Amino acid sequence: MSLHASIAAHLREKGHRITSARSTIIAALIQNKNPIAAQDLHRKLLKSAKPPNMVTVYRELKFLEEQGIAQSLRLQDAVRRYHLTPHKGHRHHLVCTSCKSVQPVVMACSDVHTLEQRIGRKNNFTVRSHALEFYGECGACVKKHP
Amino acid sequence: MSLHASIAAHLREKGHRITSARSTIIAALIQNKNPIAAQDLHRKLLKSAKPPNMVTVYRELKFLEEQGIAQSLRLQDAVRRYHLTPHKGHRHHLVCTSCKSVQPVVMACSDVHTLEQRIGRKNNFTVRSHALEFYGECGACVKKHP
DNA sequence: GTCTATGCAAAGGCTTTGCAACCTA
DNA sequence: TAGGTTGCAAAGCCTTTGCATAGAC
């Protein structure tokens, strides 16, 4: 069963309907591995057979997050970006300050976890999760503007 | 010379004026060590002698950032928070998901820097800076809701 | 046929901008 | 006095909400 089909089955099981908008959006998320903003996703879908409304994209992404199928994050700009929930581990991000691309990095968090423990104890704070982003320039942009 | 006076002197030197709004806002930033949102700062200043306008607070914080006196950051909510530029090092943050407080943690970034190098090489990405936030519950909130 | 999901319009929250009046140096 | 600053109003951007209609099952 394809990823799309298994997500659809999961939703149907919960009593949700697989409409063309929903299907299109899920497909786009599967295809697009990097976190993407609602507006950008909508722009992309304008080329599709039956482009869903901007509002629908917002609502659908929020819905998929509630269902645990997608996750969202915000970087230093105020924009919320969504990506499929990875099967395991959690992601950190490489943000190119030049072309604004956001790229997930899957990596072991063990170093950060050690840090978490230390910081938590020192500050009387119970750490539940963390977010780590690296800002800089991606390979392509370094080539363009050396 | 107090911190406030030295900031004022620095700005005057650059041809800027020390108005009552500016002075009030700088004083508030000095007093308030944790990152604070424009709206919250404005609310606080309503109690002061001559409360500056909301718009002025926004403009002033942006100005102070341009002058290198303040720095801003955004967490997972879309709100921009400002704090004075620390003399050395850079800060990471403890964000309480219960009371929404944001607390800076000064810590050595050496571990993260090592990570930076590794990640950068592996992904063909030139890392220039990073942001690390810890989400969880502060001591007070853990006590309240155990 | 039922009830979820969609589209449209409008509103909401945070932040920025235009412009005339104000006030510091 | 001159020019940086302020306040007011209005607009901008991203996102959410209300409500009637459309469409999946």
Q: What's the half-sphere exposure (Cβ side, CA atoms, 13 Å) at B8?
A: 16
The continuous run of DSSP H or E covering A125 comes out as strand A125-138
- Residue B54's pLDDT is 97
Of residues B145 and A51, more confidently modeled: A51
- Residue B75's pLDDT is 83
- A112: pLDDT strictly greater than 80: no
- Residue B115's pLDDT is 81
Residues of A in contact with B138 (CB under 8 A): 124-126
- Residue B100's pLDDT is 81
Q: Give residue B84's pLDDT band: very low, low, confident or very high (50, 70, 90).
A: very high
Q: In whole angstroms, what is the distance from residue A101 CA to residue B115 CA?
A: 20
Q: Give residue A143's pLDDT band: very low, low, confident or very high (50, 70, 90).
A: confident
- Residue A71's pLDDT is 93
Of residues B83 and A102, more confidently modeled: B83
Residues 16-75 of B with CB under 7 A from strand C: 17-20, 37-39, 54-55, 58-59, 62
pTM (two decimals) = 0.83
What Cα–Cα distance (Å) separates residue A95 from each residue in A89, A100, B90?
A: 19, 7, 19
Condensed to tens digits (0 to 9), the pLDDT of residues A15-70 reads: 999 999 999 999 999 999 889 999 999 999 999 999 999 999 999 999 999 999 99
B19: CB within 7 A of chain D nucleic strand: yes
Residues of B with CB under 8 A from a CB of A: 73-78, 80, 92, 94, 96-97, 103, 105, 107, 111-112, 114-116, 119-120, 123-139, 142
Average pLDDT along chain B: 89
In this prediction, residues A110-121 reach a mean pLDDT of 82
Beta bridge partners of B71: B83
Least confident of A82-86, A112-116, B42-46: A112-116
CB contacts < 8 A (A, B): 118
Q: Give residue B86's pLDDT band: very low, low, confident or very high (50, 70, 90).
A: confident
Average pLDDT along chain A: 89
- Residue B108's pLDDT is 64
- Counting Cβ atoms within 10 Å, is residue A69 exposed (0-12), middle (13-18) or buried (19+)? middle
Highest mean pLDDT among A100-104, B15-19, B72-76, B105-109: B15-19
